[in-house]
């Protein structure tokens, strides 16, 4: 069975990083953007990180500019924005594509393990779904991620146990992370 530990990614400086170094930790892997309506998710993400890091929790942040060009800055500009505005301390990696022929293989794997099942009910979610479909149409079957701030929860063995769309209440995400840290899968 394949795990996230088999992937190597680039940090924001362009250095290769094996995800093997996170073996034994609970991970939340997130594609982010600095100019998105969901950018305020950085705040509860950072709160969760500070509260749970000592228990073996890590957030891996991958900026992505594939959704309405909402992360146009350089790696340094994005990092400065996140640290100054939200005080983020969790690891931020190189900007990646999460869809299409140039998609980061890690995200293709994550999405194959936990495919998109919808944004949820309500007018806002229906509107986001329509907008996301238009944006992702060019990627066809390789539209793995529907929008910014999609989160994948990884257990201590490197398996993908949950996917949270950006419309998911962050309290539910936090509860699932806490359950994974205690060795219980909760989605």
Residue 27: the pLDDT is 98
pLDDT digits 0-9 by tens, 62-83: 999 998 887 888 888 877 777 8
Q: How confident is the model at residue 187, as a pLDDT?
A: 46
Instruction: Order across the sheet with 151-154: list the strands.
Output: 57-63, 26-32, 151-154, 160-164
CATH of 4-181, one of 3.30.200.20, 3.30.360.10, 1.10.10.10, 3.40.30.10: 3.40.30.10
Compute the half-sphere exposure of residue 35: CA atoms within 13 Å on the CB side of its CA.
11
In the predicted model, what is the mean pLDDT of residues 12-19? 95
Q: Which helix (H) or strand (E) holds 178?
A: helix 170-181
Active-site annotation holder among 26, 33, 36, 180: 36
Give 120's Cβ-side CA count (13 Å radius): 11
pLDDT > 70? residue 118: yes
Q: State mean pLDDT over 114-136.
A: 82
- Decide if 64 is catalytic: no
Mean pLDDT of 115-142: 82
**185 — pLDDT class (breaks 50, 70, 90):** low
Q: Is the pLDDT of residue 22 over 70?
A: yes
**Using CA of residue 57, residue 91, residue 81, residue 39, what is the dihedral sign?**
negative
* Domain boundaries along the sequence of the chain: 4-181
pLDDT for res 37 = 80
pTM: 0.91
78-81 long-range CB contacts below 8 Å, 24 or more apart? Answer: 78/12, 78/34, 79/12, 81/34
Closest C-alpha among 106, 85, 94, 89 to residue 150: 106
Helix (H) or strand (E) holding 108: helix 105-113
């Amino acid at each position: 069975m394949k795990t996230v530990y088999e992937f190597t990614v680039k940090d924001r400086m362009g250095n290769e990083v094996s995800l093997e170094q996170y073996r034994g930790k609970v991970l939340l892997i997130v594609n982010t953007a600095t100019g998105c309506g969901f950018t305020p998710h950085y705040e509860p993400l950072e709160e969760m990180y500070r509260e749970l890091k000592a228990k073996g929790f890590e957030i891996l942040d991958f900026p992505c500019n594939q959704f309405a060009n909402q992360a146009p800055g350089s790696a340094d500009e994005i990092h400065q924005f996140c640290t100054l505005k939200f005080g983020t301390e969790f690891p931020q990696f190189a900007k990646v594509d999460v869809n299409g022929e140039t998609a980061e293989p890690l995200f293709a794997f994550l999405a194959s393990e936990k495919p998109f099942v919808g944004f949820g009910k309500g007018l806002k979610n229906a509107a986001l779904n329509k907008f996301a479909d238009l944006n992702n149409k060019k990627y066809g079957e390789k539209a793995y991620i529907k929008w910014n701030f999609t989160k994948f929860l990884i257990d201590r063995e490197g398996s993908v146990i949950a996917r949270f769309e950006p419309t998911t209440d962050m309290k539910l995400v936090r509860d699932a992370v806490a359950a994974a840290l205690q060795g219980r899968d909760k989605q």
